[in-house]
Structure 1
Amino acid sequence: MIALLEWTGERIIPKLMKPTNGMLLEHIARYYFATPYIKGRVLDIACGTGYGAHMVAKDRKRELVELVAVDNDEETLLYANREYNHQKITYQKGDALDPSLPEQLGQFDTILSFETIEHVTDDLLFMDNLYHMLKPGGILVLSSPFGRGRGKQTSEPFHVHQLTPEEFEALFVRFSHVEIYYQRGVTFEKPREGVRYFIGMAVCTK
């Protein structure tokens, strides 16, 4: 299990972290935030170690038909399937930028994408895939840290770039309804004057 700490990327492994770890609490809070939107067929793209998919599957087992949890790392998925197995979850390997992903996976009533878009080289292709995988009337819940902007260097070693708040909001122009929230620790709120926010959360209806 210790080898998991050496994985590339930013893997959250709750069983190896203190319950009070700030990063862990922030990640768990995103799944709690998304729980009311879970229904029907659900996709968790870049699911990581599977703790979040398992959490929402347990909480919304009556509303959930199937949850497809996708990640691009085989070892991560093996761990997820072992530690966070659930009868309604299917862990599956996939590349978020694969143009054939919508054809492979089909469409979903709800899509979750937390702290993923800053890791991909083409965020617009990523959004295109998500849009095509969402059923009409379906809901996308997506978060991202803010930074200097598309194509600009970031101090985070595993981030390709971090969008500005304006670039983040522009990702969702195709959706019929969009609500933007900002995360502060484990809470989510609408913007308040004089408060600097580091993470955005969008709830988008197709």
Structure 2
Amino acid sequence: MVDPRDERVVPKNMNPRNGLLMEHVARYKFAGSFVWGRVLDIACGVGYGSEIILKGPGRWLVKEMIGLDSDSASIEYARRYYFHPKANFVLGDALDTNLHKSVGLFDSIISFETIEHLEQDEAFIENLKKVLKDDGLLIISTPLGQGRNKPCTCPFHFFQYTLEEFQKLLEKNFNEVEIFLQKDIVIEKPIPGKKYYLAVATCRK
């Protein structure tokens, strides 16, 4: 059974107009306009993102979608409720350095609201690079906050980056980084003077 006390979004248990759910759905729809080939949704939760991608306008470009999560109950839920011929849900650790051997390499990787849950954030980025093909694309998001070394009020997060910290981490590891910001269901290039609370980036090696 999926634990309702953690941060996992379970759409079938939520009002479709729930703000948190709508924000998460917006991110997957955003990703759907970029992904192709073999797609990895790392820390996929209960798997609803695969359904959004594989029903979206870019579904014809997706050959296979792998949802990976460390929570066995979430993977079981995903297999039960989000079955699709192109989708496969597997149990795995995002920090497993042999992940590239167990699940292979990918054209596209989606990593939504994961990095702030991992104390070893740089190791996580290195692992994403290992499973991403040389011409592949990473789409990654994280909530913004006071900074990596500042106290975080969310009990599920080790930290929340400033935008500058997040961008610097990505630019240290990828040659091409494009930053978008999200407010409510709108994801856009930054508008000067507008306040945002979440960053989404597309990254290429």
Same fold (TM over 0.5): yes
Distance 1:119 1:172 in 2: 17
Give 2:203's aligned residue. Answer: 204
Q: 1:149 aligns with which of 147, 150, 169?
A: 147
SS at match of 1:31: helix
1:186 deviates by 0.5
1:114-171 deviations in Å (ceiling 9; x for gaps): 0111111111000000011111111100000011222432111111111111110012
Give 1:63's aligned residue. Answer: 61
Distance 1:101 1:147 in 2: 30
Q: Which stretch of the first structure deviates more once superposed, 9-18 or 168-177?
A: 168-177
Give 2:98's aligned residue. Answer: 100
Q: 1:40 aligns with which of 33, 37, 40?
A: 37
1:155-190 deviations in Å (ceiling 9; x for gaps): 111111111111100122232221100001101122
1:88 deviates by 0.7
Distance 2:6 2:201 in 1: 23
Give 2:24's aligned residue. Answer: 27
SS at match of 1:86: coil
SS at match of 1:128: helix
Normalised to the residue count of structure 2, the TM-score between the two structures is 0.94
1:95 deviates by 0.8
SS at match of 1:118: helix
SS at match of 1:62: helix
Distance 2:37 2:188 in 1: 27
Give 1:133's aligned residue. Answer: 131
Distance 2:18 2:155 in 1: 20
1:99-118, aligned counterparts within 5 Å?
99-118=97-116
1:7 deviates by 4.3
1:172 and 2:170 matched: yes
Structure 2, unpaired ranges of 5+: none
Q: Aligned partner of 1:37: which letter?
A: F
| RMSD over aligned Cα atoms | 1.3
Q: Aligned partner of 2:160: which letter?
A: Q
Q: Aligned partner of 1:21: which letter?
A: N
1:47 deviates by 0.4
- Count the aligned residue pairs: 203
1:63 deviates by 1.1
1:53-75 deviations in Å (ceiling 9; x for gaps): 12102224321111110000001
SS at match of 1:127: helix
Structure 1, unpaired ranges of 5+: none
1:39-59 deviations in Å (ceiling 9; x for gaps): 110100000011111210222
Normalised to the residue count of structure 1, the TM-score between the two structures is 0.94
SS at match of 2:109: strand
Query: How much identity, in percent, do the aligned residues show?
Result: 45
